[in-house]
């Protein structure tokens, strides 16, 4: 094998190893989302037919924790935040990868904050009245363990607000969560296209 062939072979092995590591760490998905957000491929989340589940979660928060603090995990561009008047929360913190946070950063105020982070490793700096997973729970490596970890950052009587797309395989996630976290309320809503979401309020076990 020539020096050139050896070099090419080494690069091939390194590239393959790097792909495996990136896959294990979820970097491929992260970079895919970053690129898609930069290209505007997630703009459809602002469509009218997506409004229902955002509105339900916003309504739950304003009814159950008016003027409370809210942690929005996997917040994207902060669409849920736009559904809640700023006077209705004492503090909002949205967490996501850098590209969507960049798009949301112009909305930062004294009460409204957007932070770059990975929900699987992010550590809040304080406790909140409500923690939201709005179509983002799928990206927790272990939903139940993830919720148990985040439960440490809920204030007494704090709540989880969760929205999931109606799909058979997502029932397993609900069952896993509800084996530990009691359901305070739940609703399923469908838009005109027949797309559905189940939204639930989960509380911490006493």
> DSSP letter string over 114-165?
EEE--TTT---SS-EEEEEEES-GGGSSSHHHHHHHHGGGEEEEEEEEEEEE
Give the pLDDT of residue 3: 52
Report which of 95, 97, 99, 107 is spatially closest to residue 71, judged by C-alpha positions: 95
Give the pLDDT of residue 1: 56
User: Edge to edge, what strands does the sheet with 183-190 contain?
Assistant: 112-116, 89-96, 68-73, 128-134, 154-165, 196-203, 183-190
Q: What band does 2 get if pLDDT is binned at 50, 70 and 90?
A: low
Q: Which two tokens stand for residue 112?
A: 């409204």
Q: What is the value of pTM for the model shown?
A: 0.83
Among the listed ranges 30-39, 50-59, 146-155, 173-182, which one has the minimum average pLDDT value? 30-39
Give the pLDDT of residue 78: 94
Q: Per CATH, is 46-203 categorized as 3.40.50.150?
A: yes
Give the pLDDT of residue 141: 92
The helix/strand/coil state of 95 is: strand
**Is 50 exceeded by the pLDDT of residue 93?**
yes
The domain locations on the chain are: 3-41, 46-203
Q: Could you give the CA distance from residue 54 to residue 79 in angstroms, rounded to a whole number?
A: 8
Give the pLDDT of residue 23: 42
Q: Output phi, psi for 136, to 5 deg.
A: -130, -10
Give the pLDDT of residue 8: 53
Q: What band does 48 get if pLDDT is binned at 50, 70 and 90?
A: confident
pLDDT digits (tens, 9 = 90+) for 145-181: 999 999 999 999 999 999 999 999 999 999 999 999 9
Give the pLDDT of residue 27: 53
Among the listed ranges 2-11, 52-61, 83-92, 163-172, which one has the minimum average pLDDT value? 2-11
Q: Could you give the CA distance from residue 202 to residue 160 in angstroms, rounded to a whole number?
A: 5
Q: Which two tokens stand for residue 173?
A: 């996630």
Q: Which two tokens stand for residue 50?
A: 């997506």
């Amino acid at each position: 094998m020539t020096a050139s062939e050896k070099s090419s072979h080494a690069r091939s092995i390194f590239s393959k190893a790097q792909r495996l590591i990136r896959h294990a760490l979820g970097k491929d998905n992260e970079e895919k989302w970053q690129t898609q957000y930069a290209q505007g491929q997630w703009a459809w989340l602002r469509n009218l037919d997506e409004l229902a589940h955002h509105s339900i979660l916003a309504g739950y928060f304003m009814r159950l924790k008016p003027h409370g603090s809210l942690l929005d995990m996997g917040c994207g561009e902060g669409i849920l935040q736009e559904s809640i008047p700023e006077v209705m929360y004492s503090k909002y913190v949205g967490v996501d990868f850098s590209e969507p946070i960049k798009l949301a950063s112009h909305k930062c105020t004294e009460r409204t904050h957007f932070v770059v982070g990975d929900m699987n490793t992010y550590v809040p700096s304080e406790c909140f009245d409500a923690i939201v997973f709005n179509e983002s729970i799928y990206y927790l490596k272990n939903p139940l363990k993830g919720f148990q970890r985040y439960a440490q950052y809920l204030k007494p009587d704090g709540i989880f607000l969760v929205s999931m797309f109606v799909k058979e395989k997502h029932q397993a996630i609900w069952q896993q969560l509800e084996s530990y976290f009691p359901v305070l309320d739940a609703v399923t809503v469908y838009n005109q296209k027949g797309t559905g979401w189940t939204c639930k309020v989960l509380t911490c076990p006493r």
